[in-house]
Chain A
Amino acid sequence: MPVRLIKFALSKKHPEPPFFRQPDQLKSSYDAVIIGGGGHGLAAAYYLAKDHGITNVAVLERGYLGGGNTGRNTTIIRSNYLTPEGVAFYDASVKIWENLSQELDLNLFYSNRGHFTLAHTESAMRTMRWRAEVNKQHGVNSEVVGPDDIKQACPEIDLSCAGHAPILGALYHAPGAVARHDAVAWGYGRAASNMGVEIFQNTEVTGLDIQHGRIVGVQTSRGNIKTGKVLSAVAGFTPRITQMAGFCTPIVIHPLQACVTEPMKPWLDTILVSGSLHVYVSQSSRGELVMGASLDPYEIHSTRSTLDFVEGLSSHILDMFPFLSGIKVVRQWAGMADMTPDFAPVMGLTPVQGLYLDAGWGTWGFKATPISGKTMAATLASDKPHDLIHAFRLSRFAEFELTGEKGAAAVGH
């Protein structure tokens, strides 16, 4: 029995302090303002304080902490991407994840499960080989495996997928993991707050003050703030912020849906993704199957769910696991995914001096939480893009230098 639990039993009053301070009022100015109180924004606040000693920071969240995509994703963490810059970036994230619970002293339930991207066609197998080779080039532990290896990791799977899309093999990524998404926001938030960062929930940014191409302040529903440095990390709300700032990006918002079953005793120990069936599934520590599929095909700024999504997903899950007919889906929800044409984020400087963008996270944002925070903090502190994010600059589109990631995101997660 962990010794720490004893203090709970011995204290008359609940001995835990608040996770974060909630100041009543905004100050009139801050050294930096972060728009977005999700995992990325709070991680950036943490690293600003920890790595750069910048603590006079306000994090502004229009809803509740972690209430955006941080609280809606299907929690998959991996670095088996297709491009060298993608692999380097996400691998750096995984390295932080591996010790993050200890660093934040909060159990994030970071659970290394292994990750299989199933290939049902020769074309898909070629893409898996491509990803494996690029991963190996960068020291990331991925390899192409055959049906036997998949069956060994998941004996219950029907390799023939009901005879319609037989599995030829997979890209096996040993570092694949899942984590408790809400807790990541809480952990970073607490640590940032403890270092002096102020977090404001229910505070919406209504405008940006820009003079001569430089940011000078932020208007909010609770008053105006003067500041010279603003980071926007608002995922599905990015186009509204960039509209306030007066520039455009390729980002388009599409809903990304997910659903969860009732809890059952553990049986699925690994993470499975199928590009052909457009589904992915893992089992949480609570025992629920957490499942998702592809993006909704058209733009909506809403988190509404559709029946077709969960019907199609169930049909494909049953192709892989026919015995799950009686398992019940409890709840479905959606997030607003900020999609880019090359399936890579938009990070770094913007046409407005002092305004930094962390966006374009589509279906690949949760896994990047630690490294995006770290690199955006460095970028904001030095006004120069961190090396790891150079490939994700906004200007790459004007330069026709898109990243080559489209093959890796397949279904996305």
Chain B
Amino acid sequence: MKLLNCPINGLRPVEEFAYGGELRAQPDTAACTDAEWADYVFHRNAAPGLKQEWWYHVPSGTWFVAERNTMTDRVERTYLWGEA
């Protein structure tokens, strides 16, 4: 199976990870319109390309971000939140 590089634990089989969806910036809840909020909650830009994604290494409880090409499934890099 695919290998994924956890920033803390190194290269592990993808079975050890849970996918957390694309990293997206949350709109300001006080300022956004209903349409903008629904757009954030439901809509996605899901065309293939390089995405920043949340991934979670289940055995160690490590959340991190992976920069992955969703077409080729190649991970360019992984890093802990805040260490972009």
Contact = CB atoms under 8 A, between A and B. Distances in A.
Interface of A: 239-240, 242-243, 248-253, 297-302, 304, 306-308, 341, 397-400
B1 A304 contact: no
B55 to A, nearest CB: 8
Given A308-B15, A398-B35, A400-B38, A299 B43 contact: no
B38 A301 contact: no
Q: Would you call the interface of chain A mostly helix, strand, loop, or mixed? A: loop
B46 interface: yes
B59 interface: no
A239 B70 CA distance: 12
A308 B22 CA distance: 24
7 contacts: A251-B46, A252-B44, A252-B46, A253-B48, A299-B46, A300-B71, A306-B1
A239 B43 CA distance: 11
A298 B14 CA distance: 11
Given A297-B19, A306-B1, A240 B44 contact: no
Contact of B70 (A242, A250, A300, A304): A300
B18 A251 contact: no
A335 to B, nearest CB: 15
Given A239-B44, A299-B46, 15 more contacts: A239-B45, A242-B47, A248-B43, A249-B44, A250-B43, A251-B46, A252-B46, A297-B19, A298-B53, A299-B19, A301-B48, A304-B73, A306-B1, A306-B2, A397-B41
Interface residues of B, number: 24
Interface in B2-44: 2, 15, 18-19, 22, 34-35, 38-39, 41-44
A388 B51 CA distance: 36
Contacts, number: 63
A300 B73 contact: yes
A248 B44 contact: yes
Nearest to A241: B47
Contacts of A298: 19, 53
A113 B74 CA distance: 42
Contacts of B39: 248, 398
Contacts of B70: 253, 299-301
Question: What 9 A-B pairs are tightest by C-beta distance, nearest first?
Answer: A298-B19, A239-B46, A248-B43, A397-B42, A301-B48, A243-B47, A398-B38, A239-B47, A250-B42
Contacts of A300: 70-71, 73
Nearest to A338: B46
A218 B47 CA distance: 19
A397 B46 contact: no
Contacts of B45: 239, 243, 248
Contacts of A302: 71-73
A4 to B, nearest CB: 46
Contacts of A252: 44, 46
A249 B43 contact: yes
Contact of A307 (B1, B35, B47): B1
Contacts of A250: 42-44
B48 to A, nearest CB: 4
B18 A297 contact: yes
Contacts of B73: 300, 302, 304
A302 B41 CA distance: 25
Contacts of A397: 38, 41-43
B28 to A, nearest CB: 18
A398 B41 CA distance: 9
B18 to A, nearest CB: 7
B22 to A, nearest CB: 8
